[in-house]
C-alpha cells in the first residue's frame, strides 16, 4: 500500500530529536507528544513516567497491530469511528500510522459516510473538545478566544478548516456538531496531504441552527438559537476571516460544508484577499477536470488526433446546482487558462440541464427551470435566440448539441439512458466521455456496466462512487475496464499542501489547474498508453484511492511550483527547482521522535 511504503521510506531517515518541557501526566495526556508504551526506558526516567506505564516497550508497528486488533473487534462502523476518535485524542502518531496502514478500509470510517452518523449524534457522543468553537453570542470576545487557542500557545498555523455546519455531508444543518467535519477534513489533509497536524486548526463557527430536532434536544451542546443571517452573519464571518489574515497571513483557509449561497459568496469575497479554498466547489471541479484531461488524452490517442483539447469539447452537464456549477466553472476557467480564450467564450461550450430540462433565458432576468438568473449561473444560461422553446429534455439537448462530454451531478437515477448515450455516438462522438458523478451509487445517472455495453467498450467513464471493474467481450475477446472514482481526496489535500508549502497569498485558478494537470499526468490510463504505446487497455482514468498520499505529494509539488512561477510565494528565495526537496522536508509522517527533557522546550 502507498501509505505503508511512505512509512517504510521515512524510517530509513534519521530519527529526529524533540526537546520537550512536559513531564509526567501532562506528557501522557498530550496527544501530540504521547507515545504510550513506546516511551523508551531512558525517556520514562527523564520524563517522570517510571511507574506510570507497564515495563514492556513496544515499537510503533506493535502498537499498530494491537490497535488494529481492538478496532477489528468492533463490527459497527460508528463504534469503529468512536474508537478511532478516542485513539486520536490520546496519540496522534499511532492514530495516523494506523489509518495510513489501512487507508482504503478506514477512510470511510473516519470520514464519509460514517462521520455523518457521528456528527448527527455529536451532542450525545460528546467526550472532549476537538477544536476552536467561536459562537455568535460571544462575538465581542472572538479575538481573545482565537488568540488563547493559537498565538498565546505559541502555535504556528498553516491550515485553518472552518464550517458553519449548514450543509453537512448530505445530512444538512447539524449545528455545533459540524466541528467534527472540520476536524475530519483536517485529518484528511494530514493523512493524505502530509500537513503537520500540529499546524492545523479546526474551527466551528456557531451561528445557531435551524434544526428543530437540535433546538429541542435538551442535550444539545451548541448555541440554541435560529441561524443568524444577512448582515450580522457577514460581519461575524468577516471578523473571523480578518483574524486569520492578521495572525496567519500565509495560512490556507478552507471553507467546508457551508450552504451553497454562502459558500460561493465567501469564496468570491475572499479569494483575492487570502489563500481560501472550498472543496465542495473547487475540489469537485478540480478532480473532474483532471479526469477529463486524462479522458481527452486517451480519446486523442485512439483517434490519432492530437488537436483535441479542453476548448474543442462540447459539454452537457446535468445538474445545475452547486456541484454542477462548480465543475462547469472549473473547466471553464481551465479552458480560459490553457487555451487562451475569454471566460465568456469558454462559457459558450456548456449546456446546463436540470430536472426540468435545459437552462435557458426566458427574459426578464429569469431562466427556464431555475428561476432567477444570478451569481455564477449567469454565464452558463443559454440564449432563447438559439431556438429553444418549452421544456427541452436532456435527450433533445444531446441530439442538437452533439456533445463530446456528458457529466451528471443531478441525483436523477437513470437519467443517462441508452437512448441518450446512443445519441452522443450518433452525433459523431467516437469516444464519448461520460461521467455519472451523483452520490450515493443508487442515484447514479447510469451504471458504468450499462454505459460500456451500450458503447461496445468505447466510452470513457468515471463515477462519483466506487464501482467494480466492467468485464465484457469486445471484438471477440474478453476485456476488463476499471472505472475511475472522481474522489475529491485525490486532489484537495495536495492543493492545500502545495499552498502552505509555498506560503501563497492566494490560491489562483492557475495553481488549481496546475494540480489538476499533474493528477491527469498520473492517470493509469495515460501512463499505460505512454509506457506501451497503446490505448489505455482498460485502465482507470484516475489513480486508485490507495495511491492518494503519493499522488497528492506530486500535486502539492506542482501547485507550489506554480506559486513560485506566479511570484506569489512567501518563502524567501524559493525557486522552482527547490520545491521538491522542500516538499520532502515539510511532509509530515507519523513517526515517533526521540525526546530530550528541556524546561524551555515545547509544550504544545
Asked whether residue 439 is marked as a ligand-binding residue, the answer is yes
* Strand ranges (E), 198-331: 200-206, 252-255, 276-278, 315-318
CA distances from 118 to 122, 172, 324, 436 (A): 6, 14, 28, 28
Other CB atoms within 10 Å distance of the CB of residue 339: 13
Cα separation, 125 vs 87, whole angstroms: 15
Secondary element (H or E) of residue 379? none
Percent of the chain topping pLDDT 70: 94
Tens of pLDDT, residue by residue over 141-189, are 999 999 999 999 999 999 999 999 999 977 899 999 999 999 999 999 9
Asked whether residue 257 is marked as a ligand-binding residue, the answer is yes
Cα separation, 139 vs 135, whole angstroms: 6
Please tell me the predicted confidence (pLDDT) of residue 240.
98
| Residue 519 pLDDT > 70 | yes
Burial 143-176 (b: 16+ CB within 10 A, else e): bebbeebbeeeeeebbbbbbbbbbbbbeeebbbb
CA distances from 318 to 39, 325, 375, 454, 495 (A): 56, 10, 19, 20, 27
Q: Which residues, in sequence order, are CB contacts of 385 under 8 Å at separation 6+?
A: none
Tens of pLDDT, residue by residue over 77-125, are 999 999 999 999 999 999 999 999 999 999 999 998 899 999 999 999 8
Cell digits for 272?
483575492
278, 198, 12: which is closest to 586 by C-alpha?
Answer: 198
Q: Answer for the pair 83, 70: CB distance below 8 angstroms, yes or no.
A: yes
Q: How confident is the model at residue 1 (pLDDT cuts 50, 70, 90)?
A: very low
Q: What is the mean pLDDT of residues 466-483?
A: 91
220 is catalytic: no
Write out the DSSP string of 392-446: --HHHHHHHH--SEEEE-S--TT-S-HHHHHHHHHTT-SS-EEEE--SSGGG-SS
Cell digits for 564?
513560485
Q: Which residues, in sequence order, are CB contacts of 42 under 8 Å at separation 6+?
A: none
Tens of pLDDT, residue by residue over 304-319, are 444 579 999 999 999 9
Q: Answer for the pair 422, 454: CB distance below 8 angstroms, yes or no.
A: yes
321 vs 311 pLDDT, higher one: 311
Q: What is the pTM of this model?
A: 0.92
Active-site pick, 111, 133, 233, 592: 111
Other CB atoms within 10 Å distance of the CB of residue 139: 17
| Structure letter (DSSP) for residue 197 | G
185 is catalytic: yes
Burial 446-456 (b: 16+ CB within 10 A, else e): bbbbbbbbbbe
Secondary element (H or E) of residue 93? helix 92-101
Asked whether residue 280 is marked as a ligand-binding residue, the answer is yes
Tens of pLDDT, residue by residue over 250-296, are 999 999 999 988 998 999 999 999 999 999 889 999 999 999 999 99
* Strand ranges (E), 73-168: 132-135, 159-163
Rounded to the nearest 5 degrees, what angle is found at the Cα of 47, between the Cα atoms of 22 and 55? Answer: 130
Cα separation, 546 vs 107, whole angstroms: 10
Least confident of 214-223, 362-371, 401-410: 362-371
489, 331, 317, 486: which is closest to 410 by C-alpha?
Answer: 317
Cis status, amide bond into 113, omega within 30 of 0:
yes
Sign for the pseudo-dihedral over CA of 44, 49, 53, 58 = negative
Rounded to the nearest 5 degrees, what angle is found at the Cα of 263, between the Cα atoms of 259 and 269? Answer: 150
Sign for the pseudo-dihedral over CA of 136, 139, 143, 147 = negative
Active-site pick, 185, 447, 503, 505: 185
Amino acid at each position: 500500500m502507498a501509505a505503508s511504503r511512505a512509512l517504510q521510506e521515512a524510517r530509513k531517515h534519521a530519527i529526529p530529536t524533540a526537546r520537550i518541557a512536559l513531564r509526567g501526566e501532562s506528557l501522557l495526556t498530550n496527544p501530540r507528544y504521547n507515545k504510550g508504551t513506546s516511551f523508551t526506558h531512558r525517556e520514562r526516567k527523564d520524563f517522570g513516567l517510571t511507574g506510570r506505564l507497564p515495563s514492556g516497550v513496544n515499537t510503533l508497528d506493535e502498537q499498530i497491530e494491537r490497535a488494529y486488533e481492538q478496532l477489528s473487534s468492533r463490527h459497527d462502523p460508528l463504534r469503529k469511528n468512536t474508537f478511532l476518535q478516542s485513539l486520536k485524542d490520546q496519540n496522534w502518531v499511532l492514530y495516523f500510522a494506523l489509518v495510513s496502514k489501512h487507508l482504503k478500509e478506514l477512510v470511510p470510517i473516519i470520514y464519509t459516510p460514517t462521520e455523518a452518523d457521528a456528527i448527527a449524534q455529536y451532542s450525545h457522543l460528546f467526550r472532549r473538545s476537538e477544536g476552536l468553537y467561536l459562537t455568535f453570542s460571544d462575538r465581542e470576545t472572538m479575538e481573545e478566544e482565537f488568540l488563547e487557542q493559537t498565538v498565546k500557545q505559541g502555535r504556528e498555523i498553516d491550515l485553518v478548516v472552518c464550517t458553519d455546519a449548514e450543509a453537512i455531508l448530505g445530512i444538512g444543518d447539524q449545528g455545533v456538531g459540524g466541528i467534527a467535519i472540520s476536524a475530519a477534513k483536517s485529518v484528511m489533509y494530514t493523512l493524505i496531504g502530509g500537513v503537520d497536524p500540529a499546524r492545523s486548526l479546526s474551527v466551528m463557527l456557531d451561528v445557531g441552527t435551524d434544526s428543530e430536532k437540535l433546538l429541542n434536544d435538551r442535550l444539545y451542546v451548541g448555541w440554541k438559537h435560529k441561524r443568524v443571517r444577512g448582515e450580522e452573519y457577514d460581519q461575524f464571518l468577516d471578523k473571523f476571516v480578518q483574524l486569520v489574515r492578521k495572525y496567519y497571513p500565509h495560512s490556507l483557509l478552507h471553507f467546508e460544508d457551508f450552504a451553497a449561497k454562502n459558500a460561493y459568496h465567501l469564496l468570491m469575497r475572499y479569494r483575492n484577499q487570502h489563500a481560501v479554498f472550498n472543496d465542495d466547489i473547487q475540489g469537485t471541479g478540480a478532480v473532474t477536470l483532471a479526469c477529463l484531461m486524462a479522458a481527452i488524452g486517451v480519446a486523442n490517442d485512439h483517434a490519432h488526433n492530437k488537436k483535441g483539447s479542453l476548448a474543442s469539447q462540447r459539454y452537457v452537464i446535468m445538474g445545475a446546482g452547486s456541484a454542477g456549477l462548480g465543475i462547469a466553472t472549473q473547466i471553464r476557467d481551465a479552458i480560459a487558462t490553457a487555451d487562451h480564450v475569454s471566460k465568456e467564450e469558454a462559457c459558450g461550450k456548456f449546456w446546463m440541464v436540470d430536472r426540468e430540462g435545459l437552462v435557458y433565458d426566458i427574459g426578464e432576468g429569469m431562466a427556464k427551470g431555475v428561476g432567477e438568473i444570478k451569481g455564477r449561473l449567469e454565464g452558463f444560461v443559454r440564449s432563447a435566440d438559439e431556438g429553444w422553446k418549452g421544456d427541452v429534455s436532456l435527450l433533445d439537448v444531446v441530439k442538437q448539441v452533439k456533445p463530446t462530454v456528458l457529466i451528471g451531478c443531478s441525483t436523477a437515477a437513470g437519467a443517462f439512458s441508452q437512448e441518450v448515450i446512443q445519441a452522443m455516438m450518433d452525433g459523431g462522438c467516437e469516444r464519448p466521455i461520460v461521467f455519472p458523478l451523483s452520490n450515493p451509487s443508487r442515484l447514479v445517472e447510469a451504471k458504468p456496466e450499462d454505459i460500456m455495453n451500450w458503447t461496445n467498450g468505447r466510452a470513457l467513464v468515471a463515477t462519483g462512487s466506487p464501482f467494480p471493474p466492467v468485464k465484457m467481450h469486445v471484438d471477440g475477446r474478453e476485456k476488463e475496464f476499471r472505472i475511475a472514482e472522481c474522489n475529491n481526496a485525490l486532489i484537495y489535500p495536495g492543493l492545500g499542501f502545495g499552498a502552505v508549502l509555498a506560503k501563497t497569498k492566494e490560491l489562483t485558478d492557475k495553481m488549481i489547474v496546475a494540480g489538476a494537470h499533474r493528477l491527469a499526468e498520473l492517470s493509469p490510463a495515460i501512463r499505460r498508453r505512454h509506457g506501451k504505446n497503446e490505448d489505455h487497455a482498460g485502465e482507470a482514468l484516475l489513480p486508485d484511492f490507495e495511491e492518494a498520499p503519493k499522488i497528492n505529494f506530486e500535486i502539492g509539488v506542482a501547485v507550489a511550483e506554480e506559486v513560485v512561477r506566479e511570484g506569489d510565494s512567501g518563502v524567501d528565495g524559493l525557486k522552482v527547482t527547490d520545491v521538491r526537496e522542500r516538499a520532502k522536508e515539510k511532509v509530515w509522517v507519523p513517526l515517533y521522535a526521540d525526546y530530550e527533557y528541556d524546561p524551555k522546550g515545547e509544550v504544545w
